[in-house]
Amino acid sequence: MDFSIDLPHGYRAREVWDFHSRDRHQLCEEVEAGSLRKRLMLGGQALDMEVQLTPGKAHIRASLNHPQATRIAERLLGLVLDPEPFEATFANDPHLGPLLQQRPGLRLAQTATPFEALTWAVMGQQVHLQFALQLRRTFIELADVRQDGRFYYPDAQAAARIDWEELPRRKFSRAKADTLRRVVELQLDLDQLDADALLAIKGIGPWTVNYTLMRGFGAADCSLHGDAAVKNALQRVFDRPLKASQAESILARYRPYRSLAAVHFWASLNKQA
């Protein structure tokens, strides 16, 4: 399945590519200048997607003629959310405005699927990025979905084959391993879930829900006040120490675009969480 997507004028690929290349081991991704290859399981089928950038265009080759292929490509490219209305609204904000001027057109890169976002969010709970990436590699390796020697990011069906007792022996906390197991065993229809349904799952709190909705669905107004990096960036920009409740209050100023505000605060620290 081959198709193309028109890219908006001034499309910023760098930060989107940085997000997908944050793990240097690249088990399920291959990122080079102007190209991205993503491998994942989708409804029990293996999808290998290649994205090539040329001026104004993204050219996509997918190994499956799947109805979600275009949406997945849009997520990977950060095209679900248009940053222009957000930037126009807050261009003159005394604190966020200078960050917008530094990176005009900065986009929210997303995971390929909501399941990937949810499992990544669980693995990222209360740990630093490099350790979360190590856990992600373990999760991929234990699911052990491979074709031609290359790993594919598992879907819930593939992840159900994981030996969950192996996770705590591979640096997962017991609580994190149990939450992942619950997420997988529920075989969730994520497209039908909302924040309340996610919060009902034991081990999932507001940060995990907001991060999942942001990275998995492209939700525009998720508050990441519980994110350590976002709070650090806010403290730097506002030049004072902040409690989580104060960070939440500050981010509320940027409704209904708190997700994009978080992306700029992350970028100010050169983070790709």
DSSP 192: G
What CA–CA distances, in Å, run from 213 to 36, 91, 120, 194, 200? 23, 25, 12, 9, 15
Q: What is the mean pLDDT of residues 248-255?
A: 97
For residue 233, the one-letter residue type is: A
Among candidate residues 204, 8, 30, the one with its CA nearest the CA of residue 117: 204
**pLDDT for residue 273 is more than 80:** no
Contact 120/130 with Cβ under 8 angstroms?
no
Q: How confident is the model at residue 192 (pLDDT cuts 50, 70, 90)?
A: confident
Domain residue ranges of the chain, discontinuous segments joined by +: 2-81
Q: State the pLDDT at residue 193.
A: 80
Share of the chain above pLDDT 70, in %: 99
CATH of domain 2-81: 3.30.310.20
| Each residue's pLDDT tens digit, 194-211 | 899 999 999 999 999 999
**pLDDT for residue 21 is more than 70:** yes
Indicate the angle between helix axes 228-238 and 244-251, nearest 10 degrees: 70
Q: State the pLDDT at residue 142.
A: 98
| Each residue's pLDDT tens digit, 38-96 | 999 999 999 999 999 999 999 999 999 999 999 999 999 999 999 999 999 999 999 99
Q: What is the mean pLDDT of residues 184-198?
A: 87
If you average pLDDT over every residue of the chain, what do you get? 95
**pLDDT for residue 272 is more than 90:** no
Q: State the pLDDT at residue 165.
A: 97
Q: What is the pTM of this model?
A: 0.95
Q: How confident is the model at residue 271 (pLDDT cuts 50, 70, 90)?
A: low
